[in-house]
Amino acid sequence: MQNKQKDFDIIGDIHGCYTELLELLTLLGYGADGQHPQNRVLVFVGDLVDRGPDSLSVLRLVMDFCDKGRALCVRGNHDDKFRRYLMGCKVRLNFGLERTVKQTENIDSAERIRIEGFLDFLPHQLSLHEGKLVVSHAGVTEDLIGVDSRRSRAFCLYGQVSGLHDDMGFPIRMEWAHEYRGSPLIVYGHTPVPEARFINHTVNIDTGCVFGGHLTALRYPEMQTVAVKSKAIYYERMVKLV
């Protein structure tokens, strides 16, 4: 991928919502092989898997497009946990991982190795269009752009957590975006919001498809959003979208 490539369609958290993904790709003008007539490139913000109905088909499609050089993807916390599961690490089968494990139980060892390798190779953040566009699953603060450290990796996967928990036991996330003063545009997901949320020079495009919301794409550099409605509530969310 040339750093001068500037036309991207960035896709929010899919979480196994394969039907909605296909619909969104068609709406954006992509063929079944991931080719776009204007040679636009797809970028996935991660959390391909868990909670939804068909994480395996989502993985297969994204791996295929990435192999063909038509897509890029950053690592989400759910992708990372599934990767650790595949590696044989002891992880708890909760928060929708139990469904991904079930959906992938019959794959052969070659495919298992392919998926593990793909997830293992995913970067925590991507700097595109000569540094004007940065994509990270949970966002990134200006000082951590381009930094590959333990702290930076954790931020890209989980975002800024306050160490506090709400009534339901969920971590309370801090709004780093409100303090962002950098010039690169940061596009991210991870925290579902009712519609794409623009704060300073950042855009959150996780619109909670798996919870019955939408699957959203941001067209860059046009800065237009394209969204498809979820077909169902695939997973009950215990906290309100804010």
Bridging pattern class, strands 202-204 and 185-188: parallel
Of the ranges 2-10, 74-82, 115-123, 163-171, which one interacts with Mn ion (CB under 5 A)? Answer: 74-82
Quick one: residue 127, left, alpha or beta (phi over 0 = left, psi -120 to 50 = alpha)? beta
Of the ranges 24-32, 33-41, 65-73, 185-193, which one interacts with Mn ion (CB under 5 A)? Answer: 185-193
| Minimum CB distance to Mn ion smaller for 47 or for 54 | 47
Q: In the beta sheet, which residues pair with residue 183?
A: none
Q: How far is the CB of 15 from Mn ion (least distance, A)?
A: 9
Q: How far is the CB of 148 from Mn ion (least distance, A)?
A: 19
| Residue listed under structure tokens 């690169």 | 184
| Residue listed under structure tokens 């044989």 | 88
Q: In the beta sheet, which residues pair with residue 136?
A: 125
Q: How many C-beta atoms lie closer than 10 Å to residue 23's C-beta?
A: 15
Q: Which element (helix H / strand E) includes 216?
A: strand 214-220
Q: How far is the CB of 46 from Mn ion (least distance, A)?
A: 7
- How many residues interact with Mn ion (rule CB under 5 A)? 4
Of the ranges 1-9, 145-153, 165-173, 184-192, which one interacts with Mn ion (CB under 5 A)? Answer: 184-192
Choice from 9, 20, 47, 50 touching Mn ion (CB under 5 A): 47
- In single-letter form, the type of residue at position 53 comes to P
Of the ranges 27-35, 45-53, 66-74, 142-150, which one interacts with Mn ion (CB under 5 A)? Answer: 45-53
Taking a C-beta distance cutoff of 8 angstroms, is the pair 14, 222 a contact? no
- In single-letter form, the type of residue at position 69 comes to G
Under rule CB under 5 A, residue 77 binds Mn ion? yes
- Alpha-carbon distance of 187 to 2, in angstroms, equals 19
Residue with smallest beta-carbon separation from Mn ion: 190
CA 188 vs. chain centroid, Å, equals 7
Q: How far is the CB of 206 from Mn ion (least distance, A)?
A: 7
| Minimum CB distance to Mn ion smaller for 118 or for 188 | 188
- Alpha-carbon distance of 215 to 227, in angstroms, equals 5
> Nearest to residue 67, comparing CAs of 12, 28, 115?
115
Of the ranges 83-91, 147-155, 187-195, 224-232, which one interacts with Mn ion (CB under 5 A)? Answer: 187-195
Q: How far is the CB of 57 from Mn ion (least distance, A)?
A: 19
Under rule CB under 5 A, residue 190 binds Mn ion? yes
Q: How far is the CB of 49 from Mn ion (least distance, A)?
A: 10
Under rule CB under 5 A, residue 76 binds Mn ion? yes
Q: How far is the CB of 221 from Mn ion (least distance, A)?
A: 25
- Alpha-carbon distance of 104 to 64, in angstroms, equals 17
Under rule CB under 5 A, residue 214 binds Mn ion? no
Binding site for Mn ion (CB under 5 A): 47, 76-77, 190
